[in-house]
Structure 1
Amino acid sequence: SRVLIVGAGLTGGICACLLRRELPNTFNIVVWDKSRGAGGRMSTSRSPSNPKCTVDLGAQYISATPYYARIHSSFYEELLAQDLLKPLVVPVEDMMYKEDGILNYVTPSGISSIVKHYLNKSVMGENQLKTLRAVSYSSRYALGLFNKAGVRIDVPWAAKYFSNNPCIRFIAIDNEKRNLASNDFGPSVVVHTSVPFGIQHLEKEKDAVQNIILEELEKVMPGLPQPDSIKCQKWRYSQVTRSVVDCPGQMTLLSQPLLVCGGDGFTHSNFDGCVESALKVFEILKSSL
């Protein structure tokens, strides 16, 4: 038997890992993705001149509420034990907390390392179509700036949210955010735009949008060193703003052959939303294989 998982993001990676762990040597697992690498929106990019210099262009950190920290404790414990997750120890200025007791984590090897960890371990009705089409995502741009070794960026914070800027929503000195320091590579900077800016410029040429972001960045961080290289990422599907209703975690489109949909569009856009969806999809696959 063979199982095809389309989408090498966090949900697909965890689902593939769970299938391999729970049903070893039962079937071949194949994962497809439109991108060249794994990670999806949990992507890490490398400087073309120094692969040790990296920047997270998608998810910036992982936030665990007390509820999800408890029910998904095995996932967090596994990642912490293997040093794939570390507590976020640097302050993030103007961060908003939705509830008390939230634990924030960063990834020393880049956010895509979590998806790669799990991957290494491892025709619809009209109503369904209407339900899926009702799912909506926000859009934004991300900019990664890679610097040569020896460059210093002198700001009093490692990461910061901006609430009154028409373009920029979040900036992080990415290596400091992940508490990494080395003479082998320079600092990397990630800039996330606001959702309104992303929607306004969604269909524009990426190079033109990059210049707009850089101009605004110069106002926010005057005197920022000239980067060695820059990567601009358009996230057309950034975060879920309206998920699938009444189908938490998954949607079974066909029973023969089995076709199951999952992902954060069926839950919510964060680590725990992907874990929830992967668990739901896994249960469907486990009961059918």
Structure 2
Amino acid sequence: MMTRVLLVGGGLTSAVTGLLLRRELPHVELILWDKARGAGGRMSTSRNPNDAKSFVDLGAQYISATPEYAKLHSMYYEELIGAGILAPLTCSIEGMKDSAEGTNHYVTPKGISSVVKHFMNSANIDVKFGYHVNRIDLSDNKWNVQTNDGAADTFDAVVLTMPVPQLFGLSGTVKDTLENDEKLRSSLLSVDYSSRYALGLFFDEGAEIKLKNGSSAQYIANDSIVRFVAIDNKKRGLENGAPSVVVHTSVPFGKAYVEETTEEIKPIILKKVQELFPEWPEPAYVKCQKWRFSQVTSAYPGLPGCVSLGSGLVIGGDGFTHSNMDGCIESAKSVVDVVIQYLKKGS
């Protein structure tokens, strides 16, 4: 029988894990389940439901490659640049922090989720969205995995890449393991994330949207609600078509209001945007996104890349490294080493 590996989570770590497993084990059957409606995880791109050509990045905004990681991960960067997924960031971003000398910044002309989709497609993963995993059990050296909606299947190995706090919502073997291993439980509980809200504003074609000094994006200092604003299409190098804007709230605001609903928070952010940019016209459509788990502020002790829960069950993601594309790649490399070692031992 063919070896079956389940990836739980539709973000970058899962996508790169699938890519590397496919290259190392060409005949493995790779399945991915994610509770969301589309690929990307926190590299999320949202489309205007009234204009398929207009979209906005609600999560990660651009990718920064330090000289060290550009060299270490050159395979990934060169592949993405060659495929037209990454392009140099050419616009100005007001208030951007200074980066290490030689750092290259990239944008995604097709939206930030295109990075994840590219690796998923290259890995030939059988992807199913709307699959919210709630229980994982080990039986006869196989993993039985169930979803909220009653879907169930059996796998030889399972990789969990959801934000670390969500692991505590799982039943079965995962729950038993976390309850019986106090050191592991304590280490996982120490992983912390910032929270924030994002607003996607979609305007009619011809609408005039401008930022300070003609920049395409800006960090806003000393505002209690808004931290970052970008004319998203311009940021990605697209001047034509209907303008789209992304607004990120500050971390303190996100933390203070994380338990509110997006419908409660949306008018608060919109009002602030109107105060900051009174000359902008009304958007034709607004999308509000809550990032309960945004960037990792405190990672797993020792930054191991991943942790094995035994018998081919592995947990990984940027919570075990650091929050950016290179952190996800590093975690994926660690996950794949553990999974391959386990599968080869059992074959």
Say yes or no: does 1:210 pair with 2:266.
Answer: yes
Conserved? CA contact 2:61–2:107, under 8 Å? yes
Structure 1 residues 158-208: Cα deviation after superposition (integer angstroms, max 9, x where no partner)? 0000111111100000000000122xx300000000000001111123222
- 1:244 partner SS: coil
Structure 1 residues 229-253: Cα deviation after superposition (integer angstroms, max 9, x where no partner)? 0000000000000000124210011
Q: CA RMSD in A?
A: 1.1
Quick one: which amino acid aligns to residue 224 of structure 1?
W
Q: 1:158 aligns with which of 211, 216, 222?
A: 216
Distance (Å, rounded) in 2 between the aligned partners of 1:117 and 1:278: 15
Say yes or no: does 1:175 pair with 2:204.
Answer: no
Task: Name stretches of at least 5 consecutive residues in structure 1 with no aligned partner.
Answer: none
Distance (Å, rounded) in 2 between the aligned partners of 1:126 and 1:180: 51
- 2:227 partner SS: strand
Distance (Å, rounded) in 1 between the aligned partners of 2:230 and 2:303: 35
Distance (Å, rounded) in 1 between the aligned partners of 2:10 and 2:302: 25
Conserved? CA contact 2:198–2:247, under 8 Å? yes
Tell me the CA shift for residue 51 of structure 1.
Answer: 1.0
Distance (Å, rounded) in 2 between the aligned partners of 1:204 and 1:261: 29
Distance (Å, rounded) in 2 between the aligned partners of 1:174 and 1:60: 9
Say which is worse superposed, 243-252 or 224-233, in terms of deviation: 243-252
Q: Counterpart of 1:280?
A: 334
Number of corresponding residues: 284
Distance (Å, rounded) in 1 between the aligned partners of 2:74 and 2:90: 20
Quick one: which amino acid aligns to residue 40 of structure 1?
G
Say which is worse superposed, 96-105 or 225-234, in terms of deviation: 96-105
Q: Which has the larger radius of gyration?
A: 2
Q: Counterpart of 1:194?
A: 250
Say which is worse superposed, 272-281 or 122-131, in terms of deviation: 122-131
Say yes or no: does 1:47 pair with 2:52.
Answer: no
Tell me which protein shows more strand as a share of its residues.
2
Structure 1 residues 131-176: Cα deviation after superposition (integer angstroms, max 9, x where no partner)? 1111000000000001122222133110000111111100000000
What TM-score do you get using the length of structure 2 for normalisation?
0.80
Distance (Å, rounded) in 2 between the aligned partners of 1:46 and 1:153: 18
Q: What is the correspondence of 1:1-289 to structure 2 with a 5 Å cutoff? A: 1-25=3-27, 27-122=28-123, 123=174, 124=177, 125-155=181-211, 156-182=214-240, 185-254=241-310, 256=311, 258-289=312-343
Distance (Å, rounded) in 2 between the aligned partners of 1:65 and 1:220: 33
Distance (Å, rounded) in 1 between the aligned partners of 2:273 and 2:210: 15
- 1:69 partner SS: helix
Runs of 4+ in structure 1 over 4 Å off: none
Task: Name stretches of at least 5 consecutive residues in structure 2 with no aligned partner.
Answer: 124-173
Tell me the CA shift for residue 55 of structure 1.
Answer: 0.1
Percent identity, please. 52
Quick one: which amino acid aligns to residue 94 of structure 1?
G
- 1:192 partner SS: strand
- 1:130 partner SS: helix
